[in-house]
Amino acid sequence: MPNDAARGLNVLLMQLPLPINERHKRVMPLSLLYLASCARQQVGSLDLEILDAQAENLTYDEICRRVWQKRRDVIGVTFWTAQATFAYALSPALKKVCPNAKIVFGGVHPTIFPEEASKHADYVIVREGERPFSELLKRLAAGKAPDGIPGLGYRPSPDEELKIWPDKGFIDDLDELPFPAWDLLKLERYDTPMHVTGGKRVPVIGSRGCPYNCVYCTSPFLWRRRVRYRNPKRVVDEIETIGKQLGIHQIHFWDDNLFMVRDYIKSLCEEIIRRKVKINWVGLTRASHLVQNADLMPLAKESGCIGMEIGIESANPETFDKIEKQESLDDIITSARIQAEAGMYPMFTYMAFNPGETLAGYYLQAKFIDKIHEGLPWPEHFHPLPYRVYVGQFCTAHPGTKLFDMAPKLGIVLSKDWADYYHHKINFVPNSLLDDVPIRNVERLRPVDYWICLNAMAGTNYEFYHAHQTTMEHRIRHSQYFKFVKAFFDACDGRLTLRQIWRELTTYRGIDSEECLRYTAFTSLILGQLGLIRSAIFQQDLEIRPKPIDVPISRAGLMKFELFRRIGGIFDVFSS
């Protein structure tokens, strides 16, 4: 029964902005929606609100003004490592505008570093938050001490050590959780289009956890390699509710491995078909799982699946070993084929600068991805670039991963602050790449090659191009990068390693060492994929890709390109 003593407790749940937030997609705070719905169910009639500073792109001052508008008893904040710096700076400001509010930190970073997080909050919650957060609200409403709540920690006084009660394990029966509190969000803010089809989508999670041990992923630490499933009927109940209440019929499953358990995915598809629920859906899985369940693809298609997202990360077998991916390139090719044969669109994600990567690997990877996309239209709602250059995310040695400990031995770690730990900033460059020796595969670069490098840099590296810079600052930086590309290409004469080229170009035209390393790594990725440079040990000449005709530059784009060229004074780059 709800606890009437809790009536009137004002609870604000908050998602924080990400670094260079204006360029990030708007991510629905599903964890907060579950916290809110569970609090309503377990605690009673609360005054609950969600402030999504990420979706609204709010600053420190704007957040404080919004928080100050009401009396707040509890402020719950969830954050990843990239948001930790913001959270710690915001916390004292929240205390000033709401001195009586209890600040509760939860999410990935507080779970990994509860001691650190507890210095900036009244309470920290580790791993699954639904039970400890609801129990904390009950205790606070009743004026009782929070001692003994599994998964909760706090410091009795600022000078004392963190007192934390071990969690009793995960929620075994996920079906006991109520549906997310969708009514607390303004869904029009979440305009990230659905893969393949475009249009609005809503996330649904049918399982929690992953049994694999990929070195770049925090899942082994957070979920302890354990997986739990909801009843497929309960999942379809939620999908039907989303359609009726929200009017949205496109579902993005956020499960880590949707096709891992055959009975689960088969039952889910059959239940959708049995109830005649008309939806489009996509999800994430491993290539090997699709291959093992290839006979289920027609059933998945009938239930509304329009394609599955598969993380291939790299097409280099040596890299696969180093990141412990436990996949084969044959399975990836087969997974693309069986989806296409079923009338679906296969989607693939990848990372740049994994341990073990080389210039030869970048070219072969691009050719490999070309092959698995063969015969398919360009995925305009999924791919950030309008031509066949594949950047994806940048490998980042996140805290809580095996790579975090391995990275200093495997390459150069560029992360200096928690705010650096997001995958649209180059934070790690592997020794395997830096020790490679590049050689030019063509006599000179074409104007279109410079355009591709710049467009790829601006499209995928968020700090290179963002709204806080003036137009002139953008132009200056663009012309600086054009000139760098020319100097880098000239240095690729087969004598120097990429590490030596980076050091030789350091302080080149005002670029500091770390920025020069990022430019060196990124430019080698793009020129390597295009076949314009190759590893000196790779003896054969490479076919240039893509052809100029395959690169869509509009008239406006050409005019902008010419303007940058003239302003930057780099006419000599293209005429030399």
- Look-up: residue for tokens 């902005």? 17
At 571, is the pLDDT very low, low, confident or very high (cuts 50, 70, 90)? very low
pLDDT for residue 560? 55
pLDDT at 540 over 90: no
At 569, is the pLDDT very low, low, confident or very high (cuts 50, 70, 90)? very low
pLDDT, greater one: 344 or 510: 344
Q: What is the DSSP string of 484-546?
A: HHHHHHHH-BSSS-HHHHHHHHTTGGG--HHHHHHHHHHHHHHHHHHTSEEETT--S----SS
Alpha carbon 457 to chain centroid distance?
Answer: 18
Beta-bridge partners for 229:
207
Residues 124-158: tens digit of each pLDDT: 999 999 999 999 999 999 999 999 999 999 998 88
> What is the chain's mean pLDDT, rounded?
90
pLDDT, greater one: 131 or 2: 131
Q: What average pLDDT does range 484-507 have in this prediction?
A: 95
Return the percentage of the chain with pLDDT > 90, whole number.
70
pLDDT at 175 over 50: yes
For 85, residues 6+ apart whose C-beta sits below 8 A from its C-beta are 417, 418, 419
Backbone angles phi and psi of 393, in degrees to 5: -95, 165
Task: Give the DSSP H/E element, type plus range, for residue 439.
Answer: strand 438-440
Lowest-pLDDT range of 85-89, 473-477, 513-517: 473-477
pLDDT for residue 474? 83
For 26, residues 6+ apart whose C-beta sits below 8 A from its C-beta are 54, 55, 189, 190, 191, 192
Q: How many CB atoms lie within 10 A of CB 522?
A: 25
Alpha carbon 168 to chain centroid distance?
Answer: 29
Cβ distance 428 to 407 under 8 Å?
A: yes
Alpha carbon 9 to chain centroid distance?
Answer: 34
At 104, is the pLDDT very low, low, confident or very high (cuts 50, 70, 90)? very high
The SS3 call for residue 106 is strand
Domains of the chain are 4-164 (3.40.50.2300), 189-431 (3.20.20.70), 433-575 (no CATH)
pLDDT at 384 over 60: yes
At 380, is the pLDDT very low, low, confident or very high (cuts 50, 70, 90)? confident
Closest to 429 in 3D by CA, of 483, 493, 503? 503
Q: What average pLDDT does range 191-217 have in this prediction?
A: 91
pLDDT for residue 388? 83
Backbone angles phi and psi of 159, in degrees to 5: -90, -10
pLDDT at 562 over 60: no
pLDDT at 575 over 70: no
Q: What average pLDDT does range 34-48 have in this prediction?
A: 93
pLDDT for residue 570? 43
Give CA–CA dist 498/411, Å, rounded: 13
pLDDT for residue 314? 80
What is the model's pTM?
0.91
pLDDT at 56 over 70: yes
Q: What average pLDDT does range 540-549 have in this prediction?
A: 71
pLDDT, greater one: 548 or 515: 515
pLDDT, greater one: 13 or 448: 13
> Largest alpha-carbon pair distance within the chain?
79
pLDDT for residue 461? 92
Residues 393-408: tens digit of each pLDDT: 999 999 999 999 999 9
pLDDT for residue 559? 54
